[in-house]
Amino acid sequence: MVKVIGYHLRQSNDGKEFFTLTLQGGVEIVQSSSTGNYYVTAKKASLTCSFDEQTCKSLIGQDLPGKIEKTQCEPYDYQIPNSNEVIQLSHKFVYTPDESTKIIIPFGGELKPSLNGSLAHM
């Protein structure tokens, strides 16, 4: 499970505004590669959504089935918070929903609620 801990207003390349939810995984204890000391952390990821600000705000604290996983990506510069140090990373953290909660919509398709409350492809 992951928890919705916040949201942000973003802007696409074409200037359209949209919101993302900030998700956080469970607490993990990791060992520093430089000092050897242990510390507590949690993985975070951002998830695009189609909600308005009021809905995003109401989702804070909600648990979602799934996990946050580390994936490889093109290298990029990252400034360590509260520091002037810039490092290069080649990974990011992404949300992966549980298989049972995935809904795949074919390109151009649309889901509509059916009379029995389930979702049906139109």
* Closest-CA residue to 25 (of 64, 80, 58, 59): 64
Output the pLDDT for position 1. Answer: 92
Higher pLDDT, 97 or 109: 97
Tens-place pLDDT, residues 30-41: 998 889 999 999
d(C-alpha 122, C-alpha 105), whole Å: 10
Output the pLDDT for position 107. Answer: 60
Bridge partners (DSSP) of residue 95 are 68
Burial class (CB in 10 A: 0-12, 13-18, 19+), 34: exposed
Average pLDDT value for residue range 76-85: 89
Residue 53: what are its φ and ψ, rounded to 5°?
-60, -40
d(C-alpha 51, C-alpha 48), whole Å: 9
48-52, 79-83, 85-89, 93-97: which has the minimum mean pLDDT? 79-83
